[in-house]
């Protein structure tokens, strides 16, 4: 009896499969287009710099219209769209009544699916829970699971049907979010290892859905060795290639998160080719794959995949798009144009790359004033931004703080503070032998010379500048002739009180760093990862930019003629080397 039932259901399944295949044309072309890391670049206008920009979703729409005239299009977004330009900040936190601008635009462009990114989580539950309801398409992340029942918080995958062909899209997000963001922003969610999650979901999709094409949409980068990781690192930040290689079944994997261009292929453990595609950030590019399904003599379909990256700057804005969202554009423009105070001196963020700067002292003065902490830690978040002397506007605060970090107060010992700074400067400054050496640590080529980046037309630093923390509230100096872990000499607190290695101090620090971002607390200060959260005394309930706006509004006129509380020796070496390195980074000294 059981055998009869089995045969019956087998033939039914075979019949259904044959029927589905019979509905398909013998040859069919479709194109999948991906945007990623748009970071609020919806309009071709940079609200921060108050100038036109070269790329935007308005221009992407022009390209989509052209492509849709010739082919069926599946449009995917790969996350990190809810942070960046004031456009999204305004709809995240100011105008929360209307439908979100990202929802309106996403529905207008007819996206078919999106994966959530870490900066989307950074916007908080109120924001991403709201847009899930507003989207006409699913928000994916199979490895973001509910802590109460283990089920995916977002939809794990989606099946897109076109002309009888079934295209499965599996979404995954980088699992490192707890290392960067306050728990209240992702409460109730656990982020699983990407490889483990893919190994769970791919067999389910293949068996249950019988897709003609399996696509990965991963908000995770290409370089799995980033930040001293390797193929065995659990919850690797950039595990996209590891999934492609170790989880057979994928035809194409679209990636993001690292803001880089990728058009590669790898061979998985079963010997099959997997295409890897990723576009640059801020709508500078789209990644696309044209798939040609062609029926062979066995009645099955061969798949031919042609991949490319398209630069969006070559396309004009879509006039209908701009008219459609003119009201939203005007609202954001009015918001960022509000004057909040006045600065006594011009501030330039790029000065902070080479040593003491008024730009960083300004941030320290805000953090110390808001928290009344003993010491402030902060890094420059903008590589080259200027806030001019005179009126300061809300738009300028996005130059000061790029991200929606909260402001923490934590307890650290004197020894931990010194070790924290040693780690920061060890990743920032070279150990100089004489004045002809470089001040900064550059990526080096095979000959040991600074490596030139063709894309940026400049030389590349070895480490990310946003992890170069300096301290406020301390008098100290850096000796660039001394080896690693012997560069820092802390003299005193800036109020004149002695600094003791065994004393406990309150430290103002943003939430990215305060949750372990950049490794300065764990690898530098030597605080075990599980103990970092225990050091937190307090946190703001809104982002640091919000409180800084209020701080400036209260002061009205801010004297930004700050005296630095730290300096570099030997001074002659520093001055000569910093000038040379400015030229390598393609920034001229005014």
CA 502 – CA 491 distance, rounded (Å): 15
Identify the pLDDT of residue 452: 86
Q: How many residues does the chain have?
A: 590
Over the range 263-290, which residues count as b (16 or more CB within 10 Å of their CB) and which as e?
eeebebeeeeebbbbbbbbbbbbbbbbb
Residue 262 and residue 221 in contact, taking contact as beta carbons nearer than 8 Å: no
Identify the pLDDT of residue 21: 58
Residue written as token pair 């499969």: 17
306: how many CB neighbours lie within 10 A of its CB? 12
CA 266 – CA 287 distance, rounded (Å): 17
Q: Are strands 285-295 and 301-311 parallel, antiparallel or unpaired?
A: antiparallel
Residue 284 and residue 310 in contact, taking contact as beta carbons nearer than 8 Å: no
Residue 182 and residue 515 in contact, taking contact as beta carbons nearer than 8 Å: yes
To which H or E segment does residue 210 belong?
none
The CA-based angle 544-472-399, given to 5 degrees, is 40
Residue 55 token pair: 């790329």
Q: Rounded to two decimals, what is the model's pTM?
A: 0.91
Q: What are phi and psi of 556, to 5 degrees?
A: 70, -60
458: how many CB neighbours lie within 10 A of its CB? 15
Closest listed residue to residue 118, CA positions, set 179, 46, 170, 201: 179
Domains of the chain: residue spans and CATH: 23-332 (3.60.21.10), 338-584 (3.90.780.10)
To which H or E segment does residue 535 belong?
none
Over the range 369-389, which residues count as b (16 or more CB within 10 Å of their CB) and which as e?
bbbebbbbbbbbbbbebbbee
DSSP string, 57-117: HHHHHHHHHHHHTTSEEEEEE-S--SSSSHHHHIIIII--SSPPHHHHHHHHHT--EEE--
To which H or E segment does residue 378 belong?
strand 375-379
Residue 50 and residue 395 in contact, taking contact as beta carbons nearer than 8 Å: yes
Identify the pLDDT of residue 561: 83
Closest listed residue to residue 12, CA positions, set 20, 427, 95: 20
| pLDDT tens for each residue of 534-565 | 999 999 999 999 999 999 999 999 988 888 89
The angle that helices 101-109 and 125-134 make with each other, rounded to 10 degrees, is: 30
337: how many CB neighbours lie within 10 A of its CB? 12
Per-residue pLDDT of the chain in tens (590 residues, 90 and over written 9): 444 544 444 444 444 445 455 589 999 999 999 999 999 999 999 999 999 999 999 999 999 999 999 899 999 999 999 999 999 999 999 999 999 999 999 999 999 999 999 999 999 999 999 999 999 999 999 999 999 999 999 999 999 999 999 999 999 999 999 999 999 999 999 999 999 999 999 999 999 999 999 999 999 999 999 888 999 999 999 999 999 999 999 999 999 999 999 999 999 999 999 999 999 999 999 999 999 999 998 989 999 999 999 999 999 999 999 999 999 999 999 999 999 999 999 999 999 999 999 999 999 999 999 999 999 999 999 888 999 999 999 999 999 999 999 999 999 999 999 999 999 999 999 999 999 999 999 999 888 889 888 766 788 899 999 999 999 999 999 999 999 999 999 999 999 999 999 999 999 999 999 999 999 999 999 999 999 999 999 999 999 999 999 999 999 999 888 888 999 999 999 999 999 999 888 754 43
- The reply to whether omega before 570 is within 30° of 0 (cis) is yes
Among left, alpha and beta (phi > 0; psi -120 to 50; other), residue 162 is beta
CA 590 – CA 588 distance, rounded (Å): 6
CA 120 – CA 141 distance, rounded (Å): 12
CA 6 – CA 9 distance, rounded (Å): 5
Residue 424 and residue 524 in contact, taking contact as beta carbons nearer than 8 Å: yes
């Amino acid at each position: 009896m059981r055998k009869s039932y089995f045969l019956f259901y087998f033939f039914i399944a075979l019949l259904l499969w044959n029927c589905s295949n019979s509905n398909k044309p013998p040859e069919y072309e479709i194109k999948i287009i991906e945007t990623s890391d748009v970071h609020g670049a919806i309009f071709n206008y940079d609200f921060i710099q108050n100038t036109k920009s070269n790329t935007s979703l308005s221009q992407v729409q022009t390209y989509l219209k052209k492509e849709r005239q010739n082919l069926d299009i599946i449009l995917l977004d790969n996350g990190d769209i809810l942070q960046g330009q004031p456009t999204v900040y305004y709809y995240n936190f100011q105008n929360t009544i209307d439908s979100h601008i990202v929802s309106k635009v996403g529905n207008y462009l007819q996206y078919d699916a999106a994966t959530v990114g870490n900066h989307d989580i950074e916007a908080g539950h109120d924001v991403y829970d709201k847009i899930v309801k507003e989207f006409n398409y699913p928000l994916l992340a199979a490895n973001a699971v509910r802590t109460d029942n283990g089920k995916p918080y977002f939809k794990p995958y989606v099946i897109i049907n076109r002309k009888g062909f079934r295209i499965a899209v599996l979404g995954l997000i980088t699992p490192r979010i707890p290392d960067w963001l306050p728990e209240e922003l992702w409460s109730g969610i656990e982020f699983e290892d990407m490889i483990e999650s893919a190994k769970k979901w791919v067999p389910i999709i293949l068996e249950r859905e019988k897709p003609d094409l399996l696509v990965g949409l991963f908000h995770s980068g290409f370089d799995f060795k980033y930040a001293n990781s390797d193929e065995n690192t659990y919850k690797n930040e950039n595990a996209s290639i590891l999934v492609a290689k170790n989880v057979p079944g994928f035809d194409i994997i679209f990636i993001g998160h690292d803001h880089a261009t990728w058009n590669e292929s790898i061979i998985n453990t079963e010997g099959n080719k997997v295409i890897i595609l990723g576009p640059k950030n801020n709508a500078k590019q789209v990644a696309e794959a044209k798939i040609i399904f062609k029926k062979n003599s066995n009645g099955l379909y061969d798949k031919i995949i042609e991949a490319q990256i398209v630069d969006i700057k070559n396309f004009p804005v879509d006039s209908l798009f701009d008219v459609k969202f003119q009201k939203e554009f005007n609202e954001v423009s009015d918001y960022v144009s509000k004057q909040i105070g006045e600065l006594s001196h011009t501030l330039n963020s790029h000065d902070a790359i080479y040593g003491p700067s008024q730009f960083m002292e300004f941030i320290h003065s805000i953090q110390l004033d808001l928290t009344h902490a003993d010491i402030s830690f902060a890094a420059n978040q903008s590589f080259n931004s200027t806030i001019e002397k005179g009126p300061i506007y809300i738009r300028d605060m996005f130059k000061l703080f790029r991200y929606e970090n909260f402001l923490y107060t934590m307890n650290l010992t004197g020894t931990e503070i010194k070790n924290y700074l040693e780690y920061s400067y060890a990743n920032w400054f070279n150990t100089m032998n004489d004045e002809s050496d470089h001040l900064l640590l550059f990526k080096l080529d095979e000959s040991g010379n600074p490596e030139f980046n063709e894309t940026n037309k400049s030389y590349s630093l070895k480490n990310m500048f946003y992890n170069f923390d300096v301290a406020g509230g301390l008098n100290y100096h850096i000796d660039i002739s001394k080896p690693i872990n012997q560069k820092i000499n802390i003299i005193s607190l800036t109020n004149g009180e002695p600094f003791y290695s065994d004393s406990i101090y309150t430290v103002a620090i943003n939430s990215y760093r305060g949750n372990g971002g950049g490794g300065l607390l764990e690898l530098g200060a030597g605080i075990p990862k599980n103990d970092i959260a225990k050091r937190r005394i307090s946190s703001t309930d809104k982002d640091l930019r919000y409180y800084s706006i209020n701080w400036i509004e209260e002061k009205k006129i801010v004297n930004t003629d700050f005296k630095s509380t730290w300096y570099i020796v030997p001074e002659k070496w520093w001055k000569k080397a910093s000038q040379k390195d400015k030229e390598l980074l393609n920034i001229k000294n005014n």
